[in-house]
Amino acid sequence: MATVKDLFRDYLGKHGLKVTRQREIILEGFMGSPSHLSAEELYLRLRKDHPNIGYATVYRTMKLLADSGIASERHFGDRQTRYEPNTSDDHHYHLICNSCGRIIEFEDPKIEDLLQQTASDHHFTLSHQRLELYGLCPDCQAR
Amino acid sequence: MATVKDLFRDYLGKHGLKVTRQREIILEGFMGSPSHLSAEELYLRLRKDHPNIGYATVYRTMKLLADSGIASERHFGDRQTRYEPNTSDDHHYHLICNSCGRIIEFEDPKIEDLLQQTASDHHFTLSHQRLELYGLCPDCQAR
DNA sequence: GATAAATTGAACATCATTTTCATTTCAATT
DNA sequence: AATTGAAATGAAAATGATGTTCAATTTATC
Ligand SMILES: [Mn+2]
Ligand SMILES: [Mn+2]
Ligand SMILES: [Zn+2]
Ligand SMILES: [Zn+2]
């Protein structure tokens, strides 16, 4: 089984980049954390066990994880870029509570088809898509 | 006919805000410019005819236009907030070329229904949604 | 026109992210 | 295992979009 670690090492090797202690620590920390974390949030978590890891290195490495296809960048309401691991069974969309920040993921092949169809209609080659629904979750409505 | 100018004046009045020369200039400039402009881009355009209008005032006024429902904020790939006038026949989505930045607008009631349905399934009350497709436009593919 | 409240513009502050650069680490080679 | 050149690191400074401050000005009301 090609572990994520192997994938990352592969990517680094093929791009003349080096496997470093920090990169491995950050990858592990990322995979072992809740999803949709920002670089800063991950940095703060890592810090506990690895007080010597630099802020900039976390930013740089998250970018590498995105480039290598291991992570996806997400942009929700706030100003921060968030990351989540890419699963093999690909994309899902997000339903986000304006009040408590809860994030619910959902898939919908019908929507996917319609989007793909729209792109084709306009002779566009799709690279990626962004789809988020914002509102109030049931809990937050009950107030 | 309630012109946009009237709408804005109304909004200002009802909120204890004042109608100022700058606000009128900015509104006019906004309505007379291509859509999806950032505050800075608008500022640079306005500057030609009105060299004395301040940067901060444009930012502040764009926010007011959004609050008053005259404009909508958009966030595409880059870091900037963009604005577009709200039309009466409501929302559309965007197809954006990664290479030349061309923006194509489209509507799709079927997608809209599916999204609303998804929100209902999760007992969410929707406030707004974001849907963008990124890719290469036909022109940029031909290279 | 006097008055109080709101607005303006310039400069400065903020916040996430990026860049710089001296030092350290990696990996290929002897 | 030592050498070595390239890449990476961390701390600090830079950046870029946007927000805030505040003295001076403008607006709406009396
Ligand atoms: Mn997700
Ligand atoms: Mn539009
Ligand atoms: Zn909630
Ligand atoms: Zn294009």
A73-123: per-residue pLDDT in tens? 999 988 999 999 998 777 899 999 998 889 999 999 999 999 999 999 999
Q: Per-residue pLDDT for B89 more than 80?
A: no
Range B80-102 average pLDDT: 91
pTM across the whole model = 0.91
Range B80-104 average pLDDT: 92
The pLDDT, as a whole number, for residue A41 is 97
* pLDDT confidence bin for B91, thresholds 50/70/90: confident
- Report H helices in chain A: 4-14, 21-31, 39-49, 55-67, 109-121, 138-141
The pLDDT, as a whole number, for residue B77 is 83
Distance of C1' in C16 from CA in A38, Å: 10
Contact B66, B72 (CB under 8 A): yes
- Return the domain boundaries, chain B: 4-85, 93-142
The pLDDT, as a whole number, for residue A14 is 96
Q: How far apart are CA A41 and CA B129, in angstroms?
A: 25
A91 CB near a chain B CB, below 8 Å? Answer: no
CATH number listed for the domain at residues B93-142: 3.30.1490.190
Indicate the SS3 state at residue B140.
helix
In degrees rounded to 5, what are phi and psi of residue A95?
A: -120, 120
The pLDDT, as a whole number, for residue A123 is 97
The pLDDT, as a whole number, for residue A122 is 98
Q: Per-residue pLDDT for B75 more than 80?
A: yes
Contact B29, B62 (CB under 8 A): no
* pLDDT confidence bin for A2, thresholds 50/70/90: confident
Positive or negative, the Cα torsion across A79, B45, B90, A121?
negative
Q: How far apart are CA A86 and CA A93, in angstroms?
A: 13
Q: Which 55-94 residues of chain B approach strand C with CB closer than 7 Å? A: 55-57, 60-61
Average pLDDT of the residues of chain A: 95
Smallest-distance ligand from the CA of B142: 4
Range A27-53 average pLDDT: 97
Indicate the SS3 state at residue B25.
helix
Tell me whether residues B124 and A95 touch, CB distance under 8 A: yes
B110 touches strand C (CB under 7 A): no
The pLDDT, as a whole number, for residue B78 is 86
What is the tens place of the pLDDT at every residue in A61-75?
999 999 999 999 999
- In chain A, residues with a C-beta closer than 8 Å to the C-beta of B123 are 137-138, 141
Q: Per-residue pLDDT for A135 more than 90?
A: yes
Q: Per-residue pLDDT for B125 more than 90?
A: yes
The pLDDT, as a whole number, for residue B42 is 98
* pLDDT confidence bin for B143, thresholds 50/70/90: confident
* pLDDT confidence bin for B21, thresholds 50/70/90: very high
Indicate the SS3 state at residue A27.
helix
Average pLDDT of the residues of chain B: 95
Question: Topology of domain A4-85, per CATH?
Answer: Arc Repressor Mutant, subunit A (1.10.10)
* pLDDT confidence bin for B63, thresholds 50/70/90: very high
The pLDDT, as a whole number, for residue B70 is 97
Q: Per-residue pLDDT for A136 more than 80?
A: yes
The pLDDT, as a whole number, for residue B38 is 98
